[in-house]
A = this chain, B = another copy of it.
């Protein structure tokens, strides 16, 4: 699986005329293999901690590339820093964010997805990506 996604990255970069570098791979793998939502600095520190050399500049530049080619999803959890997650090898999902506990609950609803497509088509567009976040609070008993 890891191998498959390395291949995936490689193909996309080649198709776009971009080079497949160790740094791009490292950034991609950090996000791919993380169970949590990382921000740019988390990624930078994690790569460094594994003994590999990378710069913050490259992390940011790589994130831009991955975002552009839709390998990543950018998340704004409302705490001021952008976090990222892989869009590959997982079901698509959106997020509920609990404003009291900070918990993040992933959800998926097919009716919702279809409805979005419909709304977009009616206006003469096609859907490229979307951001859908529900900020919630536990129901008090």
Contact = CB atoms under 8 A, between A and B. Distances in A.
Interface string A109-134: 10110011001110111111111111
B96 A123 contact: yes
A131 B131 contact: yes
Nearest to A67: B78
A109 B120 contact: no
Interface residues of A, number: 33
Contact of A126 (B76, B109, B137): B137
A131 B77 CA distance: 10
A128 B123 contact: no
A8 interface: no
A115 B125 contact: no
B116 A115 contact: no
Given A76-B76, A132-B130, A119 B109 contact: yes
A130 B95 CA distance: 10
A7 to B, nearest CB: 27
Interface string A66-83: 000000001010100000
19 contacts: A74-B78, A96-B120, A96-B123, A98-B125, A105-B123, A107-B119, A111-B115, A112-B112, A112-B119, A119-B134, A123-B136, A124-B138, A125-B137, A126-B139, A128-B136, A130-B132, A130-B133, A131-B131, A131-B133
Closest 3 CB pairs of A and B: A125-B136, A131-B133, A130-B134
